[in-house]
Structure formats: C-alpha cells, structure tokens
Amino acid sequence: MMSLLIAPGAWAADAKKDAYLDAVVAPADAKAMEARVDPAMRKAIAEALAAEVPAQSLPRAAPVFGSASSDIMTAAFNEAKVPDCLHSEGLKRQPTFFLGGFLALPFIPIAKLRGKCI
C-alpha cells in the first residue's frame, strides 16, 4: 500500500526538464545581453510598443452567456423549428383564414405540400 503512495513521487523526480523552457536567466546574464543590443534597435522596439493600440472588447448590451440571452435563443430556436402537421402547432404558419377546429382540417395537406409543417 505504501509503495503506491511513493511511486508517483519517484516518477515526478525522473521527469526530464526541458532545457529551453525551464531555463532561468541570471540577472548578471540579462545585463550582459542588454549591453549587446543595438541602441537604435532598442529605441525602435520601444516606439513600436508605445504606438501599439491595445485591443478593446466590443460593447455588448447583455452578457453573452447570461440567462436573458439564453432565454432569447431558446425562444428563437423553438420558433424556427418546423412543426409536425398532426400536432397542435401544425398550422401555425399556414393561414386558415377564419376557419378553426374541424373546419381547418383541409388545410393540413396544403400545409404539408407547401412545406409549412413536416
């Protein structure tokens, strides 16, 4: 049982470190590198960084993942869904004029042919 707890620690010690990513530069070496950089290049980089415009986020009226926008999207998807012809919303996109109930039954095949319901 104890060997199971010790084993992950042993594997972590054996993990190889990346010489490039895990390198730590000493402050003395950083000063030495700064001395080698051309002053004109340093000035050009500083000007380019100063002139760079920071990215700005677009203004939004409502939060992207808020409940209000979620409710709006849910309502939009429910409205866009093509209804089944034989259910209650089958004729919601097919005008039946003033007829309703059993008098609207002839409009069901017309809605099916026009693609207003499935």
Residues 6+ apart with CB under 8 A from 115: 82
101: left (phi over 0), alpha (psi -120 to 50) or beta: left
Q: Mean of the per-residue pLDDT values for the chain? A: 78
* Least confident interval from 11-15, 53-57, 79-83: 11-15
- Residue 117's nearest CA partner among 78, 86, 74 is 86
Q: What percent of the chain has pLDDT over 70?
A: 78
pLDDT at 9: 55
Residue 20 has a CB neighbour count (10 Å cut-off) of: 6
- DSSP letter, residue 9: H
Task: Please tell me what DSSP assigns to residue 53.
Answer: P
Q: What is the mean pLDDT of residues 77-106?
A: 87
DSSP H or E run through 13: helix 2-14
Q: What is the mean pLDDT of residues 48-58?
A: 77
- For residues 33-50, average pLDDT: 86
Q: What are the respective helix, strand and coil percentages of the chain, to the nearest 5?
A: 55, 0, 45
pLDDT at 34 over 60: yes
